[in-house]
């Protein structure tokens, strides 16, 4: 995975799922092709197969479980995701948190399947704990800022500084309220390797314009 990285989480918004997921994914693919910059998307499990078939950029799952193929009703085996062409997975997002025990097993299972693993953490301290499980990146997102109008880069830049200090300069993505290129610029200047975004793109009236603005500081 090339860094710096823009990872856009489609979540389960109506405008970024189903047929809309493919259309939005193609916009990300177009920007990546035009700019040569590193852009990836995390999509709903029900949209993975269609999105993977439609784009060349890395597609992430929003979650996976520490299970293999078999009698696993409702679970998402990492090997299944890999077989569908998925590049990586998010784990432990604040909207889908799991215990440390399950998280460690999930990281191990995902890595064994060949997936790129990004673990979400609410605080720098939590990130420093879970980085020991061996994920590729830690995305630090203060939950009180997720989906808001003020970004972590502007409201709490000290969180980025502390995350880099505790987790490592090569391991940190930041998110929560990230909306524009100025937020990205601040995050990179403070040592982050990229940003995790959702509503700043999915809810934008002009997603392409929003993506281009977010990755502008990458160039």
List residues with catalytic annotation.
Answer: 93, 141
Closest CA to 61 of 191, 112, 75: 75
Q: How far apart are CA 177 and CA 154, in angstroms?
A: 9
Q: Cβ of 73: how many Cβ atoms within 10 Å?
A: 4
Closest CA to 192 of 166, 147, 161: 161
Q: How far apart are CA 218 and CA 96, in angstroms?
A: 29
């Amino acid at each position: 995975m090339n860094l710096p990285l823009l990872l856009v989480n489609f979540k389960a918004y109506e405008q970024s799922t189903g047929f809309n997921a493919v259309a939005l994914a193609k916009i990300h693919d177009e920007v990546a092709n035009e700019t040569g910059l590193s852009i990836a998307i995390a999509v709903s499990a029900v949209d993975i197969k269609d999105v993977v078939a439609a784009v060349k950029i890395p597609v992430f799952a929003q979650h996976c479980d520490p299970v293999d193929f078999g009698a696993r009703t409702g679970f998402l085996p990492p090997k299944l995701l890999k077989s569908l062409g998925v590049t990586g997975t998010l784990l432990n997002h604040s909207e889908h948190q799991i215990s440390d025990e399950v998280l460690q097993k999930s990281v191990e299972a995902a890595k064994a399947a060949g997936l790129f693993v990004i673990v979400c953490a609410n605080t720098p301290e939590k990130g420093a704990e879970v980085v020991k499980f061996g994920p590729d990146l830690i995305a630090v997102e203060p939950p009180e800022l997720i989906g808001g109008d003020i970004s972590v880069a502007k409201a709490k830049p000290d969180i980025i500084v502390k995350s880099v200090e505790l987790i490592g300069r090569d391991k940190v993505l930041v998110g929560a309220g990230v909306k524009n290129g100025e937020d990205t610029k601040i995050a990179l200047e403070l040592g982050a390797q990229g940003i995790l975004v959702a509503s700043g793109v999915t809810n934008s009236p002009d997603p392409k314009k929003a993506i281009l603005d977010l990755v502008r500081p990458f160039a």
